[in-house]
Amino acid sequence: MLKDISHKYRNFIPLHLEIEDIKILEEFAKIQRGNILKMTTNASSGHPGGSMSSVDIYTILFAFSDFTPENFNSLNRDRIVISHGHTSPGVYSVLGSLGFFDLHEAIAHFRQVGSPFEGHIENHIPGIDWSTGNLGQGLSAACGFALSQKMKGINKDVFVVMGDGEQQKGQISEARRFAKKFGLNNITCIVDYNNLQISGATQRVMYQDIKANFESDGWFVIEIDGHNFSQIYEAIRFAKNYSVSPVMILARTTMGKGVSFMENRHEYHGKPLTEEELDRALKELGIENDLKKYRKMRDKKIKKIKEVKSLLPPIFEIGSPILYSPETKTDNRSASGKALFDIASKNMDKLDSFAVFDCDLAGSVKTSSIEKNMKNSFFESGIMEHHTAVCSGALSRCGVITFWADFGVFGVDETYNQQRLNDINNTNLKVIVTHTGSDVGEDGKTHQCIDYLGLLRNLYGFKVIVPADPNQTDRVIRYVVNEWGNFCVAMGRSKCSVITNENGSPFFDEKYEFNYGKFDILREGKEVLILTYGPMVEKAIKIYEILKERGIDVGVVNVSCPLKIEDELMEKIKKAKLIITYEDHNPHSGLYASICDKIVEKGISKKVIPFGITNYPPSGKSSDILKYLKIDPESIAEKILKELNG
Amino acid sequence: MLKDISHKYRNFIPLHLEIEDIKILEEFAKIQRGNILKMTTNASSGHPGGSMSSVDIYTILFAFSDFTPENFNSLNRDRIVISHGHTSPGVYSVLGSLGFFDLHEAIAHFRQVGSPFEGHIENHIPGIDWSTGNLGQGLSAACGFALSQKMKGINKDVFVVMGDGEQQKGQISEARRFAKKFGLNNITCIVDYNNLQISGATQRVMYQDIKANFESDGWFVIEIDGHNFSQIYEAIRFAKNYSVSPVMILARTTMGKGVSFMENRHEYHGKPLTEEELDRALKELGIENDLKKYRKMRDKKIKKIKEVKSLLPPIFEIGSPILYSPETKTDNRSASGKALFDIASKNMDKLDSFAVFDCDLAGSVKTSSIEKNMKNSFFESGIMEHHTAVCSGALSRCGVITFWADFGVFGVDETYNQQRLNDINNTNLKVIVTHTGSDVGEDGKTHQCIDYLGLLRNLYGFKVIVPADPNQTDRVIRYVVNEWGNFCVAMGRSKCSVITNENGSPFFDEKYEFNYGKFDILREGKEVLILTYGPMVEKAIKIYEILKERGIDVGVVNVSCPLKIEDELMEKIKKAKLIITYEDHNPHSGLYASICDKIVEKGISKKVIPFGITNYPPSGKSSDILKYLKIDPESIAEKILKELNG
């Protein structure tokens, strides 16, 4: 039995596998092949070909790593990332056989609605560290896990198994460079090189020299036969102990390995066997065909599996707020950077649980003080945003409070899908984006991020906060530190005034407490109600002042969480005569959209005029752009007057 | 004068530059350096450092290529892509000096609102082929241009200049592989290797061996001194004539080259000189300081530049629609593939103006018949979606009708930013996305595309169409072929019924004509109005049938363009008692959001109940998922009944 020898080879300590143990492995893997075929035929769906090609690697990895049904909820263990998540039948089969969950449940309920055993592997299942499916993501996640081990002094390993087709994804080259730069020699990558992808032979689909690619990024490469247990074992053992660089094991394998009529047939990438084919295949493998049993089980209730727990970071001291006086003229990104540095300074004993990522913009996003003073918590990731999004997301699941600061177009637009995958992975990432809206200096269209609410609105777990001034920014940064979940804190580039009460005292004063979703009434007024957020708040107050002089009763509300509109705000809206939304964003996916949604939900009939960005703006200073687009305070005050006068 | 020798070296024909001509080049480049400094100081913004590092390369490229103020609106010419678009001062200066536009205008109005001379280069300016800014995009665009030359038998070249920092972006590795695979030896890439990026020395920011990276992807690499005109000229001349593979010229340069106190100082990446520094720098260069003149000009009216025209593809025969009878049960993606193949077949004489891109999913997205029968129009781009999005976008600007078919999560989610950049570049791309909604087979969360409307809603130039059945799909594909602009045609994976009139005849019959924005009343009814699209249409009709039996008067409207809600539809909405939106999408960014927006705009008060996807769905068959989420037709009919009774 494999369980009997698992202990013997745990942590890849012996030099070689013994011959009789190889037989046990071969027998075990054969059974897994049978399971894979039953599972996919039972589901009439799934990916048997790649599963059979990877399953010998999975057998060795899961059987001998320090990653067990007992320790999967701990940090102090090896980690295994399966990047080609469609090989779920192979993964589930091996994990089930090793006792992470009930194997029969997986075979019976694979890909069934309501079952935990979904189409691609997901990290709610014991033994699965990262949900994958979209290709090219696994090595970036592995880097995040490997970083957490290095930061926390955990002397364990991260193994990542990848497909060959996915090596075409550019993100993998980013991850390679990152791993090399940060000396992540605790990563061992195994590429299942069966040379087939959906469209046929890998080298016919795309020119690629995988070995040369890895070597060009400073990795050490070993080539092995991926179905030879001795070679797999010894290569992993070598890689684990090799400290000069991360190691990639190029494992030559056969798609559909083990069943003659499936071998090297790319059609079996994503197609299960028919019942008749299954019967033939199982006969060839010498395995009993008990598909009927699983067909019956499929109609029965699905059992619960053990819970995979989120590894919470330690609670950080958030310190006392920095108060910016009304005389101060600074930008929110500076306030954000200061708050972040202040928090880090107050938790110097916990910096092994604190990380800040940068993509070559530390000076602009104001994380330079972290870079200078908390070197081991600062990760300069270069111009590699896709990798950085996933890597920081994975790290955030390892008990590390993780921030990534970048421009809006990089932290949200360029990496939307990576943030979506983070969200699916229940990460705990804090994304600080600066240079949002048209407020990006004079960099122009490609840098203007006028859609971040429209994008993050789609992600069910992401919360977005757009603070109004340096004081609120300070409080928001302190707030998100200890709050679990994905947050995006957005800000523009320009300096903004400290928002004050009518008496001139700071609105967000020492008594102010931020709560997600809470709106702030900055100016009371009932005739016209301006709803706004972020850098437009001070401009809305300007409109208020202009109109006040003209005798108009204007209220100004700071909606710093534009994706969460509270019922109480709707009560205010009901009472006003005219509602204005004012944003440095596309209104049709921004605050205006949120308000419309809620107005319809509440059955209110109300005139709302949206002011915002309605096409790709020109390049220029923020204030000039607003004037050019006629959404500067003066123009808007004028328009409101016209509207009121009919 | 450079103009005098431009002709002599046009097309890089002579073997070497003559010594006296090098002097002319040096003098010209020196003046450009002065222009760069004046331009950025005048704007108090911009990127002088990299501009001065690249300007010698720009001088040779723009002066000697077959790309002139006379031919920039033609296809039959060289193309030049500047990937590090922040070097706009260098590009504008050289282009202005060569007569593409008035140089003084560029110096005077750089980065000024309303000026064509925006922060990063944009392709509305003569001499600029592709708007860049976000890094790592240029080589992909160059591949698109190079493909168009190969397809149309244009014996010209594509030159692309890139920064060194941006080599960290993974997308560049994708573009390299694509160029190698398709034998794009008409591409010459020049990397400005000044070894400095925003955060300091490039090799300190990120581990990278640029030469080894290119060589590992099969490129030929030449190293030169990027400030030595002879070397630049000869290297480009060699690369132009080298046919074995594309060539990368690694040009070692100096950031801030030409002004002693700027050289090798990364601070000057994005910071202009002060007036005092400018004076010193111009003295050192021996150039008169006429900043005052430009300061004055800045306040004057901005002159118009010559128009850059979109190169329209030939009009294609769209053939006769394929009519699917009510007995047919097929999927929209098959209908899409058939229509595409039918159109291609009817335009065999124009296939040099027709391209279909695939990312290893031809079988699933139904473009295999194009692959088999129109080999030269089919581009298998492997698992490299970021590159493919930009490459296909660039090709679509070269008089080629360009389609890219992929799953929704890849064609929209993963490449959102690339589509945004395409949109900014006014491309003419037709993106067909299949496997949208939760209708992706049993692949699960990572593959479910329940946000495509929420994403594309942000792009001002993108139109989205979600056809209801195979007949409408056929018509939509034929429609988009000859319509200029970016279109996304979205469909699910499952088979869907042919939508019929109540009498059983196909609704989208031979008389049906698709028009963007037009909605279809499938069932008349006034009490309850169901607004829906795509694969949910047949399910809405089922609801209609269930409720009809219960005596409820239900209307069903197909809103196949959910981002464009027509006023006429609002009239219908006004009249109904209860509105239902029904979609395989997040309603809060989907059709429901569009309807709410319009309801508020029109000041209508109306109860609307949204049915859609409100969290990441489980994996399973589409019909099972809908049941599990209680949004299958039966559950919804039940809920509507309750609502009406309660």
- The answer to whether the beta carbons of residues B52 and B259 sit under 8 Å apart is yes
**CB within 8 Å: A168 and B174:** yes
Question: Of the candidates B464, B496, B528, which is a domain's last residue?
Answer: B496
Query: Has residue A445 got a pLDDT over 90?
Result: yes
Contact assignment for B455 to A454 by CB distance below 8 Å: yes
- C-alpha torsion angle, residues B59, B64, B69, B74 (rounded to 10): -130
Indicate whether B1 belongs to any domain.
Answer: no
Residue written as token pair 């699209």: B533
Query: Contact B132/A446, CB-based, under 8 Å?
Result: yes
Q: Which residue of B has its CA nearest to A204?
A: B181
- State how far residue B616 is from chain A, nearest Cα, in angstroms: 7
Please tell me whether residues A256 and A347 are part of one structural domain: no
**Residue-averaged pLDDT of chain B:** 97
For chain B, say whether A207 makes contact (Cβ under 8 Å): yes
Q: Is B320 exposed, middle or buried (0-12, 13-18, 19+ CB in 10 A)?
A: exposed
Q: Where are the beta strands (DSSP E) in B562-611?
A: 578-582, 608-611
Tell me which residue has tokens 């409820």. B552
Residue B406 in contact with partner chain A when CB distance is under 8 A:
no
Cβ within 8 Å, pair A112-B212: no
d(CA A279, CA A433) in angstroms, rounded, equals: 56
- pLDDT score for B427: 98
Instruction: Please tell me if residue A42 touches chain B, with a CB cutoff of 8 Å.
Output: no
Instruction: Give tens-digit pLDDT for A416-426.
Output: 999 999 999 99
Could you give the 3-state DSSP secondary structure of residue A49?
Answer: helix
Among A139, A245, A249, which Cα is nearest to A184's?
A245
Q: Is B447 on the interface with A (CB under 8 A)?
A: yes
Q: Which of B168, B180, B604 to mutate to test the interface with A (most CBs of A within 10 A)?
A: B168
pLDDT digits (tens, 9 = 90+) for A134-192: 999 999 999 999 999 999 999 999 999 999 999 999 999 999 999 999 999 999 999 99
Say if A119 is an interface residue toward chain B (CB within 8 Å). yes
Contact A109, A353 (CB under 8 A): no
Q: Which pair of structure tokens corresponds to residue A179?
A: 């791993």
Domain contains A513: no
Residues A453 and A532 in one domain: no
Residues B113 and B202 in one domain: yes
pLDDT of residue B197: 86
Of A103, A117, A80, the C-alpha closest to A28 is A103
Report how far residue A405's alpha carbon sits from residue A489's, in angstroms, rounded to the nearest whole number: 9
End-to-end CA distance of chain B, in Å? 85
For B77-108, b where at least 16 C-beta lie within 10 A, e where not — what string?
bbbbbbbbbbbbbbbbbbbbbbebbebebbbb
**Which 3 state secondary structure label does DSSP give B529?**
strand
* Closest to A162 (Cα-Cα) out of A56, A274, A50: A50
**CB-CB neighbors (< 8 A) of A134 in chain B:** 409-410, 414, 446-447
Locate the DSSP E strands across B498-576.
Answer: 520-523, 528-532, 554-558
Residues B241 and B168 in one domain: yes
Cβ separation of A586 and B458 shorter than 8 Å?
yes
Residues of B in contact with A413 (CB under 8 A): 416-417, 420
Q: Does A43 touch chain B (CB under 8 A)?
A: yes
pLDDT of residue A197: 86
Nearest CA in chain A to B384: A169
B316 touches chain A (CB under 8 A): no
Task: Provide the percentage of residues in chain A whose pLDDT is more than 90.
Answer: 96
Are the beta carbons of A122 and B444 separated by less than 8 Å?
yes
Distance CA B629, CA A536 (A): 39
Say yes or no for a CB contact (<8 Å) between A447 and B420: no
In this structure, are A43 and A171 located in the same domain?
A: yes
Is the minimum CB–CB distance between B597 and chain A shorter than 8 Å? Answer: yes
Chain B residue numbers with beta carbons less than 8 Å from the beta carbon of A43 are: 442
- Inspect the interface and report whether the beta carbons of A218 and B205 lie closer than 8 Å: no
Contact B48, B272 (CB under 8 A): yes
Indicate whether B350 and B489 sit together in one domain. Answer: yes
Q: Which residues in chain B are closer than 8 Å to A420, comparing Cβ atoms? A: 413, 451
| pLDDT (tens digit per residue) in B288-335 | 999 999 999 999 999 999 999 989 999 999 999 999 999 998 999 999
Are A484 and A525 in a shared domain?
A: no
Exposed / middle / buried, residue B372 (Cβ in 10 Å: 0-12, 13-18, 19+) = exposed
Segments of A218-308 assigned E as strands:
220-225, 247-252
Residues B251 and B349 in one domain: no
pLDDT of residue A190: 98
Residue A316 counted as domain residue: no
| Domain contains A142 | yes
Give contacts of A 215-244 with B, CB under 8 A: 215-218
Q: Closest Cα partner for A469 from A432, A506, A513?
A: A506
Interface membership of A41 toward B (CB under 8 Å): no
Edge-to-edge strands, sheet with B187-193? B79-82, B158-163, B187-193, B247-252, B220-225
Dump pLDDT digits (tens) for A551-562: 999 999 999 999
Taken as a whole, chain B contains a residue count of: 646
- Position B200 scores a pLDDT of 87
Flag residues of chain B having pLDDT under 50: none
- Pairwise CA distance, residues A221 & A210, whole Å: 10
Interior CA angle at B19 toward B15 and B20, to 5°?
Answer: 120
Q: Which amino acid is at B350?
A: K
The DSSP bridge partners found for residue B70 are none
User: Which tens digits make up the pLDDT trace of A342-375?
Assistant: 999 999 999 999 999 999 999 999 999 999 999 9
Is the CB of A609 inside 8 Å of chain B's CB atoms? Answer: no
What's the CA gap between B337 and A96, in Å, rounded?
41
Binary contact (A446, B46; C-beta < 8 A): no
In a domain, B315, yes or no: no
- A339 and A260 in one domain? no
- B271 neighbourhood in chain A, CB within 8 Å: none
Contact between A395 and A355 (Cβ < 8 Å)? yes
- Give me Rg for the CA atoms of chain B: 28
Looking at A481, A496, A511, which one is the last position of a domain?
A496
CATH code for the domain of B585? 3.40.50.920
Chosen for mutation from B39, B40, B47, B113 (greatest number of chain A CBs closer than 10 Å) is: B113
Whether residue B324 lies inside any domain: the answer is no
Q: Looking at the domain assignment, is residue A501 inside a domain?
A: no
Helix (H) or strand (E) holding A546: helix A536-549
DSSP letter for A99, please.
T
Q: Give me the DSSP letters along A629-644.
A: TT-SHHHHHHHHHHHH
Residue type, B499: I
Q: Which residue in this structure is represented by tokens 């049915």? A: B611
Chain B stretch 92-111, residues whose beta carbon is closer than 8 A to a beta carbon of chain A = 111
Q: At what angle do helices A275-285 and A19-43 cross, to 10 degrees?
A: 170
Q: Do A361 and B198 touch (CB under 8 A)?
A: yes
Q: Is the ipTM of this complex over 0.90?
A: yes
CATH of the domain at B334: 3.40.50.970
Torsions phi, psi for A150 (to 5 deg):
-65, -45
C-alpha A612/C-alpha A606 separation (Å) is 19
Pick from A496, A512, A535: which residue ends a domain? A496
Number of domains in chain B: 3
Q: How far is B326 from chain A (nearest CA, A)?
A: 27
**DSSP notation for A320-386:** PPPPPPTT-EEEHHHHHHHHHHHHHHTTGGGGGGEEEEESS-HHHHT-HHHHHH-GGGEEE--S-HH
Chains A, B: CB contacts within 8 A come to 338
Is residue B501 in a domain? no
What DSSP element (H or E) covers B30?
Answer: helix B19-43
Tell whether B117 and B29 lie within a shared domain.
Answer: yes
CA distance A17 to chain B (A): 35
pLDDT at A3: 84
User: How many other C-beta atoms can be found within 10 angstroms of the C-beta atom of residue B275?
Assistant: 14
Nearest residue to A269 (alpha-carbon basis) of B633, B591, B363: B363
Quote the pLDDT of residue B1.
Answer: 80
Q: Model's pTM, two decimal places? A: 0.98
Segment A456-464 mean pLDDT? 98
The alpha carbon of residue A100 and the mean position of all alpha carbons in its chain are separated, in whole angstroms, by: 25
Q: Which domain holds residue B175?
A: 20-298
- Is A485's Cβ below 8 Å from some Cβ in B? no
Q: Which of B420, B445, B597 faces A424 most closely, judged by CB atoms? A: B445
Nearest to B239 by CA among B142, B166, B123, B165: B142
* Cβ of residue B164 closer than 8 Å to a chain A Cβ: no
Phi and psi torsions of A469, nearest 5° = -155, 180
Average pLDDT, chain A: 97
| Interchain CB distance below 8 Å, A589 and B592 | no
The two structure tokens encoding residue A6: 């698992």
- Do A188 and A41 sit in the same domain of this protein? yes
Cα angle value B299/B304/B309 (rounded, 5°)? 150
Mean pLDDT of A578-602: 98
What mean pLDDT is predicted for residues A259-278? 95
H/E run at residue B439: none
**CB pair distance less than 8 Å for B380 and A205:** yes
Q: How close A24 comes to chain B (CA, Å)?
A: 33
State the Cα–Cα distance between residues A238 and B518, nearest whole angstrom.
64
Distance between CA atoms of residues A562 and A565, nearest Å = 7
Q: Is pLDDT at A117 greater than 90 in this prediction?
A: yes
Contact B118 A619 (CB under 8 A): yes
Same domain, A626 and A546: yes
